């Protein structure tokens, strides 16, 4: 059996999109499952839309997701270079083969002429296909056009290739995900493979590279199905083996439109900045089209690889449920150790003065705040009151609903009197506060109301982490200073 070789071939015209991350993952899983190779190829034939920053972002994002490539830029491999702009001297040879075999021809049409053809088709309400005006130009005619200064593009001759290898104009292939797909090739239109400036087009470069890199399976989004038919014909015209193709359904936003920035983050790096863990993101992305056989959704990529079968991928579109991703991210946060959390939360606490807490206090702070986190970045708000020294920002409801009440004022005054002599350890505070709440309970004040008063004064909020631990972490001085400010 031939070696399984798959590839991810991003165009660096943007940061790595989650959709591309999913395609990369499914290719990676397929390679792992079949002891194959996962190849990265950068498709930067469109120089205007390419930037080095995007290329770096693609590398970094794939690495962060654990999708390390076996061959590609950075790591090299036997069929490189793996960046298309470094391969421009490879393509003309194959254009010439197609010209020699009669599967391609020079086209001298100007952009204006082509525009006029399109308008004509639109006027007649017909889908546009190139009229093949240049297919049978004589050598004299071509010479004349060249003398006028026109430079030809090269077009692929669909009908010629189709006739040479198939019985009718219908072209079929057996998709790994979607089953049999077909098209009437009369509707495809002879497309440009080499532009007049000498640059190969996507549909051509991709075939040459897949052929030379011995790609056995092409797994990509279903938006490429119409390209696949064109590409199959080029493989055949070159006498090359046609790879197997598998097309994944699209990823849609919860409103069923195309996933875009207006729905939230779309690039892997944006998710990371927002406080998502790459382990959670890749797990979530795997579930867009694939489901685990045991129904257990939280799984590492290694576990998924064992269970993965390409023919079980759903052929329909998947919905990118941000809510589910958030839930999953929370699950992954809970799985981190306290030491890991201490490090990973730091960037999201950068706006505070971390030196206000000793390492011991910081550890305790993390222990009592991580559980409700959905995103790592939630800590910025959730831990605000551990910083700021003697002052704390009082939220409106904490002021109106709690601190402005007579009960709260009574509680705070009593607290100031009694707590002066308390030994300020968490254990002792726990005991003392229980007794303190007991006294108020006898006066008819519910224990939680008593604690609200203290919480509102010390944290400025009505909810938050364990109050006894907060007092212990802040220390007596800061706690007292804040309570004093809250007393009228």
Least distance to ligand GLU from the beta carbon of 43, Å?
A: 4
Tally of CB atoms within 10 A around 241:
12
Q: Pick from 235, 129, 260, 264: which is nearest to 185 by CA?
A: 129
Least distance to ligand GLU from the beta carbon of 467, Å?
A: 52
Least distance to ligand GLU from the beta carbon of 45, Å?
A: 9
Least distance to ligand GLU from the beta carbon of 275, Å?
A: 28
Please give the Cα distance from 167 to 175 (Å, whole number).
20
State the alpha helices, DSSP H only, in 199-321: 202-212, 225-237, 268-273, 278-286, 301-307
Q: Pick from 128, 236, 143: which is nearest to 191 by CA?
A: 128
Q: Does 455 bind ligand GLU (CB under 6 A)?
A: no
By rule CB under 6 A, what count of residues binds ligand GLU? Answer: 7
51 exposed, middle or buried (CB, 10 Å; 0-12, 13-18, 19+)? Answer: middle
Least distance to ligand GLU from the beta carbon of 173, Å?
A: 15
* Closer CB to ligand GLU, 19 or 460, in the complex: 19
Please give the Cα distance from 323 to 178 (Å, whole number).
28
* Closer CB to ligand GLU, 12 or 152, in the complex: 12
| Residue of the chain from 10, 73, 152, 289 that contacts ligand GLU (CB under 6 A) | 10
Which string of x and - marks every residue 206-245 that binds ligand GLU (by CB under 6 A)? x-------------x---x---------------------
Give me the phi and psi of 218, to 5 degrees please: -110, 110
β-pair partners for 319: 252
Q: Pick from 419, 416, 422: which is nearest to 488 by CA?
A: 416
Question: What are the tokens at 440?
Answer: 């108020």
Q: Stretches 8-16, 114-122, 379-387, 388-396: which one binds ligand GLU (CB under 6 A)?
A: 8-16
- 327-366 positions binding ligand GLU, by CB under 6 A: none
Q: Stretches 6-14, 266-274, 396-404, 466-474: which one binds ligand GLU (CB under 6 A)?
A: 6-14
| Residue of the chain from 9, 154, 213, 403 that contacts ligand GLU (CB under 6 A) | 9
Please give the Cα distance from 169 to 15 (Å, whole number).
39
Q: Stretches 3-11, 70-78, 123-131, 451-459: which one binds ligand GLU (CB under 6 A)?
A: 3-11
* Closer CB to ligand GLU, 43 or 378, in the complex: 43
Least distance to ligand GLU from the beta carbon of 215, Å?
A: 9
Beta-strand (E) ranges in 52-169? 104-107, 153-156
* Closer CB to ligand GLU, 205 or 336, in the complex: 205
Q: Does 11 bind ligand GLU (CB under 6 A)?
A: yes
Helices (H) and strands (E) in the chain, counts: 20, 11
- 40-99 positions binding ligand GLU, by CB under 6 A: 43
Catalytic residue list contains 448 = no
Of 147, 261, 351, 448, catalytic: 261
* Closer CB to ligand GLU, 160 or 220, in the complex: 220
Q: Residue 306, CB half-sphere, CA atoms under 13 Å: how many?
A: 6
Please give the Cα distance from 418 to 397 (Å, whole number).
27
* Closer CB to ligand GLU, 42 or 398, in the complex: 42
Q: Stretches 5-13, 150-158, 334-342, 380-388: which one binds ligand GLU (CB under 6 A)?
A: 5-13
* Closer CB to ligand GLU, 45 or 162, in the complex: 45
Please give the Cα distance from 286 to 218 (Å, whole number).
18
74 contacts 43 by C-beta, under 8 angstroms: no
Q: First-to-last CA distance in the chain?
A: 83
488 exposed, middle or buried (CB, 10 Å; 0-12, 13-18, 19+)? Answer: exposed
- 172-211 positions binding ligand GLU, by CB under 6 A: 206
Which stretches of the chain bind ligand GLU, using CB under 6 A?
9-11, 43, 206, 220, 224
Q: Which residues are catalytic?
A: 261
């Amino acid at each position: 059996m031939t070696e399984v070789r798959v590839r991810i071939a991003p165009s660096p015209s943007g940061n790595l999109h989650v959709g591309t991350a999913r395609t990369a993952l499914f290719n990676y899983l397929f390679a792992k499952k079949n002891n194959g190779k996962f190849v990265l190829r950068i498709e930067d034939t469109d120089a205007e839309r390419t930037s080095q920053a995007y290329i770096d972002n693609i590398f970094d994002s794939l690495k962060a997701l654990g999708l390390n490539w076996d061959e590609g830029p950075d790591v090299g491999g036997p069929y490189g270079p793996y960046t298309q702009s470094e391969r421009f001297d490879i393509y003309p040879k194959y254009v010439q083969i197609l010209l020699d075999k009669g599967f391609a021809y020079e086209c001298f049409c100007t952009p204006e002429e082509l525009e006029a053809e399109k308008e004509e088709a639109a006027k007649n309400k017909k889908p546009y296909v190139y009229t093949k005006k240049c297919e049978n130009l004589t050598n004299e005619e071509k010479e004349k056009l060249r003398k006028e200064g026109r430079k030809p593009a090269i077009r692929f001759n669909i009908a010629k290739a189709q006739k040479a290898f198939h019985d009718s104009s219908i072209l079929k292939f057996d998709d790994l995900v979607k089953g049999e797909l077909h098209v009437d090739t009369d509707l495809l239109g002879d497309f440009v493979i080499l532009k007049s400036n000498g640059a190969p087009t996507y549909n051509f470069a991709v075939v040459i590279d897949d052929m030379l890199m011995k790609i056995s399976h092409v797994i990509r989004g279903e938006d490429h199905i119409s390209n696949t038919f064109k590409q199959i014909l080029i493989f055949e015209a070159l006498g090359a083996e046609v790879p197997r193709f598998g097309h994944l359904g699209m990823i849609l936003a919860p409103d069923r439109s195309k996933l875009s920035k207006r729905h939230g983050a779309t690039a892997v790096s944006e998710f990371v900045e927002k406080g998502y863990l790459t382990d959670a993101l890749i797990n979530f992305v795997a579930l867009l089209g694939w489901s685990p056989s045991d129904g257990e959704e939280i799984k590492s990529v290694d576990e998924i690889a064992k269970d993965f079968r390409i023919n079980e991928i759903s052929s329909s579109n998947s919905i990118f449920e941000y809510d589910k991703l958030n839930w999953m991210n929370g699950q992954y946060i809970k799985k981190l150790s306290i030491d890991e959390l201490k490090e990973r939360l730091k960037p999201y606490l950068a706006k505070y003065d971390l030196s206000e807490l000793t390492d011991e206090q910081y550890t305790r702070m993390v222990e009592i705040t991580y559980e409700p986190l959905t995103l790592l970045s939630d800590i910025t708000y959730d831990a605000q009151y551990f910083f700021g020294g003697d002052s704390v920002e009082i939220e409106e409801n904490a002021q109106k609903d709690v601190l402005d009440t007579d009960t709260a004022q009574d509680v705070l005054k009593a607290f100031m009197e009694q707590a002066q002599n308390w030994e300020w350890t968490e254990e002792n505070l726990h005991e003392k506060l229980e007794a303190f709440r007991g006294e108020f309970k006898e006066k008819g004040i519910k224990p939680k109301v008593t604690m609200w008063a203290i919480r509102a004064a010390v944290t400025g909020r009505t909810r938050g982490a364990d109050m006894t631990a907060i007092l212990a972490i802040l220390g007596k001085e800061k706690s007292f200073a804040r309570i004093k400010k809250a007393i009228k």
